[in-house]
Amino acid sequence: MAIDETRVFKPINIALLTMSDTRTAENDTSGDILAERITSKGHKLASRAILREDAILLAGTLADLVRDPDVDCVISTGGTGLTGRDVTPEALAHVIATFAGREIPGFGELFRWISYTTIGTSTVQSRAMAVVAEGTYIFALPGSNGAVKDGWDRILDEQLDSRNRPCNFIELMPRLKEV
């Protein structure tokens, strides 16, 4: 990471979603890890919720967050695997279609490359991905503690820092709604 200390850090409002049929506020450790990293970096935790693994529920929640002018970014954890209950990518596909959003393919590719260094070939079971819709970034991470640490510490921490050089997601925000 190349932080340019001459630039001003610009905090953003981040909503955090955990996709799980079994986690609660008491045992959502991956959500806790992300919440701590978001706030300790200087960003605002705009909201936090735990949703059951249901594509329609998640797509509706994501649509509400995309429409919310007080949310700049959504980070979700869980629901990116291969089982029948893992529906986060399908919900994101609905958001892309609804809002004429765009996938950010490099995010998933980079996440799996980083994850490979930690868990080897098991990384192919991850459908981690990112999209941008109506000027709101959405990042979908797997639900394990290691995965959220890899996703935040090795990608999002840098890309959500306005001082990161040579470029970052924050400096693009004013231009995301261009036609």
Are 138 and 103 in contact by the 8 Å Cβ rule? The answer is no
pLDDT at 1 over 80: no
Predicted confidence (pLDDT) per residue in 118-143, tens digit: 999 999 999 999 999 999 999 999 99
| CA distances in angstroms from 137 to 3, 29, 110, 160, 171, listed in the order given | 21, 23, 16, 10, 13
The arrangement of secondary structure in 11-175, i.e. its CATH architecture, is: 3-Layer(aba) Sandwich (3.40)
pLDDT of the residue at 30: 97
CB atoms within 10 A of CB 42: 12
**H or E element that contains 40:** helix 29-41
179 band by pLDDT with thresholds 50, 70 and 90: confident
Looking up tokens 């994101």 gives 92
Percent of the chain with pLDDT over 70: 99
**H or E element that contains 149:** helix 145-151
Predicted confidence (pLDDT) per residue in 80-110, tens digit: 999 999 999 999 999 999 999 999 999 999 9
What is the pTM for the complete model shown? 0.96
Q: Where are the domains of the chain?
A: 11-175
Farthest CA pair distance, the chain: 48
